[in-house]
């Protein structure tokens, strides 16, 4: 008897001395236990290994001085996604959805210090950029409207959408920048590489 002629149940055709009922139960329990251990390790890795606060220490920054060149007179969303951060595997899909849903906003994807330098950000903005994924939304004059995580979920794209909330509040006169440093989820330190 070969595996190809009898499928996956080849071991059931063996003599009882080789695979007794006791051995089959022991094998099933061992496979189940192995599956349980592997699932627990992978779940821990996914749900807890990279979870941390959005920003560990609040930087001292004058938020009124956080500006960016608003030359094209459109709102601009700066999406900070470090290409070396494992958390960004969820962020890219969410950012692409925002780009489709808000075509009137100029979306700028920042993946490195070189990308950031091309925007000529203020020193205060550079001081804030310590975690990724992050979002900075600027009005048509280049003033900061929102800074913080994209959403309130454990990974980007889940939970309360801060971009949509900031967009809905943009028309209020005399508003101050909404700086949200209180997230907890999958974040990495912004690397300077």
Phi, psi at 108, each rounded to 5°:
-120, 120
The pLDDT assigned to 100 comes to 92
The two three-digit tokens of residue 139, written as one number? 């009005």
Alpha carbon distance 134, 80 (integer Å): 5
pLDDT confidence tier of residue 193, bands split at 50, 70 and 90: very low
**Longest Cα–Cα distance in the chain:** 84
Which whole number is the average pLDDT over 141-146?
83
The two three-digit tokens of residue 112, written as one number? 């490195």
| C-beta neighbour count of 97 within 10 angstroms | 13
Cβ-contact 149, 183 below 8 angstroms: yes
Q: Is the pLDDT of residue 97 over 50?
A: yes
pTM of the model: 0.69
Least confident of 15-19, 51-55, 92-96: 15-19
The two three-digit tokens of residue 101, written as one number? 């849903």
Alpha carbon distance 192, 189 (integer Å): 9
Q: Tell me if the bond preceding 97 is cis, omega within 30° of 0.
A: no
Average pLDDT along the chain? 75
The pLDDT assigned to 159 comes to 73
Cβ-contact 110, 78 below 8 angstroms: yes
The pLDDT assigned to 61 comes to 67
Token pair 């489709």: residue: 100
pLDDT confidence tier of residue 93, bands split at 50, 70 and 90: confident
Token pair 């695979």: residue: 19
Which whole number is the average pLDDT over 59-88?
76
Q: Check residues 100 and 141 and name the one with the higher pLDDT.
A: 100
3-class SS at 38? helix
pLDDT confidence tier of residue 1, bands split at 50, 70 and 90: very low
pLDDT tens, position by position, 26-44: 888 889 999 999 888 877 6
Q: Is the pLDDT of residue 5 over 70?
A: no
């Amino acid at each position: 008897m070969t595996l190809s002629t009898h499928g996956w149940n080849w071991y059931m055709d063996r003599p009882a001395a080789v695979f007794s009922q006791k051995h089959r139960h022991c094998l099933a329990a061992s496979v189940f236990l192995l599956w349980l251990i592997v699932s627990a390790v992978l779940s821990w890795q996914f749900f807890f290994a990279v979870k941390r606060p959005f920003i560990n220490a609040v930087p001292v920054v004058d938020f009124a001085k956080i500006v960016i060149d608003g030359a094209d007179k459109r709102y601009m969303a700066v999406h900070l996604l470090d290409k070396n951060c494992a958390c960004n595997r969820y962020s890219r899909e969410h950012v692409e959805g925002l780009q489709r849903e808000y075509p009137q906003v100029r979306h700028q994807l920042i993946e490195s210090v070189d990308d950031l330098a091309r925007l000529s950000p203020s020193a205060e903005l550079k001081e804030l950029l310590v975690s990724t994924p992050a979002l900075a939304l600027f009005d048509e004059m280049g003033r900061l409207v929102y800074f913080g995580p994209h959403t309130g979920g454990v990974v980007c794209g889940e939970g309360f959408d801060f971009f949509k909330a900031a967009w809905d509040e943009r028309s209020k006169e005399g508003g101050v920048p909404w700086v949200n440093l209180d997230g907890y989820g999958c974040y990495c330190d912004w690397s300077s590489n």
